[in-house]
Amino acid sequence: MSIRFVDSTGQFVLETADTCYQMKVDEMGYLQHLYYGSKIGQNDMSYPFRTYDHGFSGNPYEMRLNRAYSLDSMAQEFTSFGVGDYRVTSFRASFSDGSRCAEFHYVSHEIVEGKYAIPGLPSVYDNGESVHTLIITLKDFAVNVEVKLYYGVFEELNIITRAVEIVNTGKDIVWLRKASSMCLELPFGKWDMIHFHGRHCMERQPERVPLFHGVHTLSSGRGMSSHQHNPFIILCDRDANEDAGKCYGVMLMYSGNHKTEVERDQFDGVRIVTGVNDDRFRWELTAGASFYTPEVILTCADGLTQLSHNYHRVIRRNVVRGEYKLSHRPVLINNWEATYFDITEEKVMAIAEKAKALGIEMFVLDDGWFKNRNDDNAGLGDWVPDTDKLPNGLDGLIAKINALGLRFGLWIEPEMVSEDSDLFRAHPDWAMTAPNRAPMMSRNQLVLDLSRQEVHDYLFATISGLLEKYNISYIKWDFNRSISDVYSHSIPSPRQGEVAHRYYLSLYKLYDRLTKQFPYVLFEGCAGGGGRFDAGMLAYSPQIWCSDNTDPISRLKIQYGTSFGYPACTVGAHVSASPNHQTGRKTPIHTRGVVAMSGTFGYELDLTALSDEDCAQIKEQIARFKELEPMIHSGKLYRLSRMSDSTHYVAWQYVSEDQDRALLNIVVTNPLANSAPVHVRLKGLLPDAVYSVGGEFECRGAALMSGGYTFPRLTGDYPAVQLDIIRIK
């Protein structure tokens, strides 16, 4: 059993294959956090906690004569509020008597086989592994609020999930103002934090900073998980690297407004609190009602590589769902950077015919296919094909593309509406706009209020209608602006603080209905590129467009940062034109292919404008990707260089699950005159196995991992190399 309770000490022990998590109910009924780290046998980890008078840190009334006992210095699993713990809190609420204090004590617990689910929210699911759930109930009897802490222990995966249910057990309304998913304490040690910031076209840039005294806050209030701050952080030892050092991953499985607070307190303890962003959040909890928080995926590992492997494995097998979870993803051509809005049937068919000749498997028609959509100022909401551009209709175009032997995919942006649209003219109140003020515009579009049931029903009917009427195999679901003017014209004034979260409850429900009704459709998420690249979206869309920046040199760092938490099979990546449309940089098509192969792989350029030489390379790239896809999408990734180093190249490696094959990738990002050769040490091979190295020579795995491999001088415009390493005995 991966979960046990020691009745004599009030201690809970959660164990995975390599880690242990301990907490206990103390003499006052508070749930204390004791330990999270490597396995330590049967040891009770309460022994390091020495109590002493903490000066200005107050004491509960019953312990008023014991000044060594203070909530202000105690490591806790879910914090009280307003009763003497002055650090960042898990919970805030206001009650009918005007009070805002809450104090939670242990009531009971339950250990059950299998994994809990969260009503209305995506969560990691049991995929046949050994999984157990611990539910601990805490309660504040003064205000009649119950808190249920959920722990899912995936023993084989070294993953522990966390979620919280808050229940109003009284008769009066409780107004929730903060409801976090998790509190994790690291009472001892000195830590760095790695987080993943960015902007549009430069998402998930890794930044490593030492924790200072005070609170680090990473959040999004943009109505999506955002380009700016991914809902995922790593805390690690100051000297931790890819191969060693204690590392903790905290990944929130949520696509909306989020907040993570990391506090290094006055006694050098570290507290991490994460969940729904409490800014402008206010939830009416009526008598008997429950509020469920989004899930957190926790892992602890030695070294950043192992931490990434833990996340890659659980996301591939226990987050992503459906027919495409572990199967081949079709190599596609998207027409966006070839045509933008200037679509005609002739242009589309010319690209599609060329795609078929080159071995591409799917054509994706991007923005501009529906009526009144000649730029981004009109048309959103009216998903009716433009017969001026497509005289044979969408069905006629799809029939022609299918006749070539290509599957067909379609771009939509269903959550948005243009003022110049039939939908907005009919239902202006369906858009999020604040009363008595002109709305903030972005891309000249507004956001539909998905918290309204009629909007949800309209979108389901519209999208399912497209999928029922047309032979569509793939949907690219875009979301091209942040949400502002958050206001629902269908919800009473006191409950407007619920709108942002209700939006995502409705969106997840919409995705759930569509993916269940159309399991054969591959959904790709997108939000101006990677603005909603999170585990919540991956529960419904097996892949997400990683960034609108398709420049391969920029993509190296974007994909590098993404790789710490998310596997390659989730990363939408395409070969685009040179010079690149975003940066103007010129790169060889071979280099563009090497970078895009570390994702789902496809093309986004005008195939009809390519040289014969480029077309020949595309044929080779597609054949090679199909050969390498199982290893790239299901194998293990090793980052062999750090993007923050002043090195002139980037190196990364994939190793198959059976360790019989590896792929070493090198891209020179800054060609230097008279430079030292590129030399890398490989990882993840079988030490005693003999490998063929690029067909040049044979070498044991131990030698390649210890002595490394030296490339000849790599010169030119951003040269790239892929080296095959294949076990021969």
Q: Which two tokens stand for residue 452?
A: 């309204």
DSSP string for 668-721: ESS--TTPPPPEE---S--TT-EEEETTTEEEEHHHHHHT-EEPPP--SSS-EE
- Count of alpha carbons within 13 angstroms of residue 728, beta-carbon side: 12
Q: State how far the Cα of 398 lies from the Cα of 404, in Å rounded to an integer.
A: 10
Q: Are strands 571-572 and 3-6 parallel, antiparallel or unpaired?
A: unpaired
Q: Which residues contact 47 (CB under 8 A, 6 or more apart)?
A: none
Q: How many residues in total does the chain contain?
A: 729
Which sequence positions are flagged as catalytic? 478, 548
CA 18 to chain CA mean position, Å: 24
Q: Which residue has the tokens 């299998």?
A: 114
> What are the backbone dihedrals phi and psi of residue 497, each rounded to the nearest 5 degrees, phi first?
-70, -5
Q: The dihedral of CA 337, 339, 345, 349: what is its sign? A: negative
Q: State how far the Cα of 494 lies from the Cα of 267, in Å rounded to an integer.
A: 40
Q: Answer left, alpha or beta for residue 247, where phi above 0 means left and psi between -120 and 50 means alpha.
A: beta
CA 449 to chain CA mean position, Å: 24
Q: Which two tokens stand for residue 74?
A: 């105690």
DSSP string for 86-131: -S--SEEEE-TTS---B--EEEEEEEEES---BTTB-----SSS-E
Residue 400, H or E segment: helix 393-403
Q: State how far the Cα of 559 lies from the Cα of 613, in Å rounded to an integer.
A: 28
Q: State how far the Cα of 311 lies from the Cα of 422, in Å rounded to an integer.
A: 44
Contact between residue 200 and residue 268 where contact means Cβ atoms under 8 Å apart: no
Q: Which residues contact 438 (CB under 8 A, 6 or more apart)?
A: none
Question: Helix 393-403 crosses helix 345-358 at what angle (to 10 degrees)?
Answer: 20
Q: Which residues contact 61 (CB under 8 A, 6 or more apart)?
A: none
Radius of gyration of the chain measured on its C-alpha atoms: 27
The residue among 93, 273, 205, 301 whose CA lies nearest residue 549 is: 205
The three-state DSSP-derived secondary structure of 618-668 is HHHHHHHHHHHHHHHHHCEEEECCCCCCCCCEEEEEEECCCCCEEEEEEEE
DSSP string for 301-341: EESHHHHHHHHHHHHHHHT--STTSSSPPPPEEE-HHHHTT
Q: State how far the Cα of 58 lies from the Cα of 52, in Å rounded to an integer.
A: 12
Contact between residue 607 and residue 331 where contact means Cβ atoms under 8 Å apart: no
The residue among 218, 222, 214 whose CA lies nearest residue 206 is: 218
Q: Which two tokens stand for residue 454?
A: 């009629």
- Identify any residues that bridge with 68 across adjacent strands, giving them in sequence order: none
**What are the helix and strand counts (H, E) for the chain?**
12, 39
Q: State how far the Cα of 542 lies from the Cα of 544, in Å rounded to an integer.
A: 7
